């Protein structure tokens, strides 16, 4: 009987025989070659689209994206024949990462897949071409980068509300397209074995989607007390400046008064909250403008930091092909972004540098992506990525924390180091961005997960958006909103379909990375005064993590850098501890928190 079964097995056609490890190796070799080629094509067409926005480039980008999604989907389905086969860890991880690689899963049906890519390209193009015309369409119309400058500089509540409402008016036309995008993407996710696109995204963190959601809440609870102290202090200062215009019965802050279109970072209103009678400090933007620094020179500051840690200079291709200033002759998507065109040495930065303080920090952030890309470029194609996407966002920001007064003096941007008594203003200024951002970084994807799961329907998009913003941020819209509005669409990452939890994680990770590199450099003082610039020991720790790419689960990559295997916000709390003590003193007698209204669309 056994011999008969063996004979029958040997007579099976090759396609019916059980797969082997050799089959998996051959499949992955072919898959990685196909994906590399299609990714290069997609990156190049997307680069052209964002630098030359028109209907033709939208169509070309959509076609390239469709080819990539189609082939990736085919490969994911083909890989299912290896389910249940016991594999070496490296091969098993490659198959897992392949399954999770589609941030925009698409239906198998070719027509629906093409529709999805066209809808996605149209959403991105609508955002990129968005303009607000204060004086009507015949007057000068302003894009988001110009409006950002006005939100930063203006101190007239009425004008700020007009600008806020004007920019958000670009989004309602996107709502139906976005709803269709959700339907198509969810269909693709279900065909890949996930309940919806949000579940697919959350599965990419070496834990279950449910565990990941719970872990984000755990991290938020570690930092929420610090945020509430900062919120109460800022609210009081804004009321002192604007009076009744800033005061609400529910204790929330009007979203247009925080110096940023989305109230996601508050550093632009630091002048309104700065402690009185503190030593004079510095403004990097003013320093760069006084020096007439060119965009290239601003980028070179970031490059030199990495070089001081033992990294190589940027490839010459970077300088030849990057876009560092807004062109005068065309619309471009100016949202800062880093690009690894060929997953090798063709790396680029796209950013409209205007010598603002934020630009100096943003350059370090984006170069963090680029140096990460360069560090893991020798890994197999499926491992050329961050340990998770939050790691990718955190690297440059960890370096930016090292932009201390001592560092700025060392590189010649300031002549004298402010005394230790200036630490509090510097910490407050940093917290106005780093701490203020945390709830926004958390809620953007919470909203999307509710949308993808079907818990929130298209007619409730805007109400759900403001419910989360009020719950986590304690901010409210400056004017009444309706269900016809689509305020999420006024934030780049929604029409661009860019996952956002990575930015929340990056804010946590960067302090964990920073503390580890400070320790490696031999620093022992207060954490907020550490700079590991020029420390090859810190650079060695960083390289060890970056070079792993995505070849290991992220807790292993974290351990290579920090010795810890769990995300932990205690480094962030430690960094801001002097500020927390001071804020509690300032807030004595002040009610912390806010009351949630019955209707989140109503402005008071």
What are the structure tokens assigned to 110, written together? 């070719």
* Pair 205, 554: CB distance under 8 Å: yes
Among all residues, which ones are annotated catalytic? 366, 493
- Report d(CA 341, CA 292) in Å as an integer: 31
Q: pLDDT value at position 426?
A: 87
Angle, helix 175-191 to helix 55-79, in steps of 10 degrees: 20
More confident residue, 202 or 360: 202
Q: Is the pLDDT of residue 451 over 90?
A: yes
Which pLDDT score, from 0 to 100, does residue 8 have? 42
pLDDT at 16: 62
pLDDT band, residue 132 (cuts 50/70/90) = very high
Reported as a single tens digit per residue, the pLDDT across 557-596 is 999 999 999 999 999 999 999 999 999 999 999 999 999 9
Its pTM stands at 0.87
The answer to whether the CB of 192 falls within 8 A of the CB of 105 is yes
pLDDT over 90 for what percent of the chain? 78
Closest among 189, 184, 220 to 203, alpha carbons compared: 189
> How far are the Cα atoms of 278, 347, 394, 582 from residue 588, in angstroms, in the given order?
20, 50, 34, 10
pLDDT digits (tens, 9 = 90+) for 518-566: 999 999 999 999 999 999 999 999 999 999 999 999 999 999 999 999 9
Q: Is the dihedral of CA 299, 300, 305, 306 positive or negative?
A: positive
Q: How many CA atoms lie within 13 A of 227 on its CB side?
A: 27
Q: Answer with the residue of higher pLDDT: 5 or 208.
A: 208
pLDDT value at 356 more than 80? no
């Amino acid at each position: 009987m056994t011999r008969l079964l063996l004979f029958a097995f040997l007579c099976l056609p090759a396609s019916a025989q059980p797969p082997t490890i050799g089959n998996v190796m051959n499949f992955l070799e072919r898959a990685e070659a196909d994906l590399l080629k299609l990714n290069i094509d997609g990156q190049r067409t997307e680069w052209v689209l964002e630098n030359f926005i028109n209907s033709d480039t939208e169509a070309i980008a959509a076609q390239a994206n469709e080819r990539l999604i189609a082939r990736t989907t085919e490969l994911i389905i083909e890989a299912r024949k290896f389910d249940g086969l016991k594999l070496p860890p490296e091969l098993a991880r490659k198959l897992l990462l392949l399954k999770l690689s589609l941030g925009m899963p698409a239906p198998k049906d070719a027509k629906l897949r093409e529709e999805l890519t066209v809808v996605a390209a149209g959403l991105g193009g609508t955002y990129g071409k968005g303009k607000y015309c204060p004086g009507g369409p015949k007057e000068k119309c302003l894009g988001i980068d110009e409006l950002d400058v006005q939100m930063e500089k203006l101190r007239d509540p009425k004008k700020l509300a007009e600008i806020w409402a004007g920019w958000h008016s670009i989004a309602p036309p996107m709502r139906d397209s976005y709803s269709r995008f959700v339907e198509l993407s969810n269909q693709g996710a279900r065909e890949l074995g996930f309940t919806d696109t949000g579940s697919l995204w959350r599965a990419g963190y070496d834990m279950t989607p449910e565990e990941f959601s719970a872990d984000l809440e755990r991290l938020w609870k570690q930092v929420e007390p610090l945020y509430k102290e900062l919120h109460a202090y800022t609210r009081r200062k804004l009321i002192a400046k604007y009076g009744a215009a800033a005061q609400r019965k529910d204790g929330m802050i009007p979203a247009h008064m925080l110096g940023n279109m989305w109230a996601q970072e508050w550093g632009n209103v630091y002048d309104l909250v700065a402690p009185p009678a503190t030593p004079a400090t510095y403004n990097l933007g003013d320093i760069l403008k006084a020096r007439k620094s060119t965009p290239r020179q601003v980028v070179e500051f970031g490059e030199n930091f990495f070089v001081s840690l033992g990294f190589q200079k940027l490839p010459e291709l970077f300088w030849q092909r990057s876009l560092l200033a807004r062109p005068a002759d065309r619309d471009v998507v100016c949202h800062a972004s880093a690009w690894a065109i060929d997953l090798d040495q063709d790396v680029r930065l796209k950013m409209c540098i205007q010598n603002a303080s934020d630009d100096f920090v943003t350059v370090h952030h984006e170069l963090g992506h680029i140096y990460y890309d360069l560090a893991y470029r020798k890994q197999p194609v499926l491992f050329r990525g961050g340990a998770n996407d939050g790691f990718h966002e955190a690297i440059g920001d960890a370096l930016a924390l090292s932009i201390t007064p001592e560092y700025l003096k060392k590189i010649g941007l300031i002549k004298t180091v402010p005394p230790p008594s200036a630490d509090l203003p510097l910490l407050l200024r940093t917290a106005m961005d780093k701490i203020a951002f945390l709830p926004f970084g958390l809620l953007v994807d919470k909203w999307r997960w509710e949308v993808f799961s079907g818990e929130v329907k298209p007619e409730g998009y805007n109400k759900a958006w403001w419910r989360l913003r009020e719950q986590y941020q304690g901010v409210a819209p400056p004017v009444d909103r309706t269900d016809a509005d689509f305020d999420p669409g006024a934030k780049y990452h929604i029409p661009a379909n860019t996952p956002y939890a990575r930015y929340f994680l990056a804010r946590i990770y960067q302090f964990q990375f920073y503390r580890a590199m400070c320790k490696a450099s031999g620093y022992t003082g207060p954490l907020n005064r550490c700079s590991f610039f020029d420390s090859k020991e810190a650079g060695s720790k960083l390289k060890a993590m970056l070079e792993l790419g995505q070849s290991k689960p992220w807790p292993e990559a974290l351990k290579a850098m920090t010795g810890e295997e769990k995300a932990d916000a205690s480094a962030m709390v430690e960094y801001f501890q002097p500020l927390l003590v001071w804020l509690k003193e300032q807030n004595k007698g002040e009610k912390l928190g806010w009351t949630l209204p019955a209707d989140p669309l109503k402005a008071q």
